[in-house]
Amino acid sequence: MQRTLNPTCTGTSVIALQYEKGVVIMTDRVVSYGKTARYKNVSRQYKVNNNMIIAFGGDHADFQWLQNVIERQVLAWKMIGQDLSPKALHGYLTSLMYARRTRMNPLWNTLVVAGVEDEEKNNKESSTPFIGVITQKGVAYQTKHVATGIAAMLLNQAVEDEWKKKGDKLTRAEAEALVRKALELTIYHDCCADNDFEIGVVDAEDGVTLGKQETIIGDWSIAETNCQYE
């Protein structure tokens, strides 16, 4: 029986944080073959329904398989007259990722479920933002802000410090500005990150908005003083 020992085409970091009425999630738009930017203009975000987006880092093929699994779950919930909620999907994927890990055949992904949880059905006033993370080993947790991949080492503390200044009072515009700044820092340090990116938003009032492709250039003036690249 064959197992995937090394993922072939991969995506890098995912950055997400809550604001007062929802969640902002940002990914770049490249899938890398090793360190080569093999496939450009590839979205790493998937709209599950009007309450939720899921984004991935890691193996692209495994995430394509997961999309089919998620679609079947959405249909199963519709058959009983319910919409799949962020917490329900997070719990299901946690069990799935852990089961695959224990069979020594893991899915090579880190998943971020971002959405709005309806505490009371059809009552937007009671909706609460939700971010859930599942690692390749099936370790799962809920958080108010997260950076995965290499950004977990580079940016988690910076994102947390900025988020704490306003916490749940953070506005949507401020949250989007923060993840844009986080991406700029990522492209300086991560050779697999790309400067083409998209920002998805899940808002308690407006539902899911998948952002258009954007490009950030950054400030590379320091390169003129770097003489250690030979």
pLDDT of the residue at 54: 97
Any domain includes 230:
no
SS3 readout for 135-179: CCCCCEEECCEEECCCHHHHCHHHHHHHHHCCHHHCCHHHHHHHH
Any domain includes 3:
no
Q: How many domains does the chain have?
A: 1
171 as an active site residue: the answer is no
More confident residue, 216 or 142: 142
Say yes or no to pLDDT of 123 above 70.
no
Please, are residues 111 and 97 in contact by the beta-carbon 8 Å criterion? Answer: yes
Select which of 4, 36, 102, 171 is catalytic.
4
Any domain includes 75:
yes
Any domain includes 4:
no
Q: Which structural domain range is residue 66 located in?
A: 9-225
Any domain includes 1:
no
CATH of the domain at 53: 3.60.20.10
pLDDT tens digits, 52-88:
999 999 999 999 999 999 999 999 999 999 899 999 9
pLDDT tens digits, 154-198:
888 888 898 888 888 899 999 999 999 999 989 888 888 999 999
Any domain includes 43:
yes
Identify the three-state secondary structure at position 50: coil
Spatial CA neighbour of 113 closest among 157, 69, 71, 52: 52
pLDDT tens digits, 1-55:
577 778 889 999 999 999 999 999 999 999 999 889 999 999 999 999 999 999 9
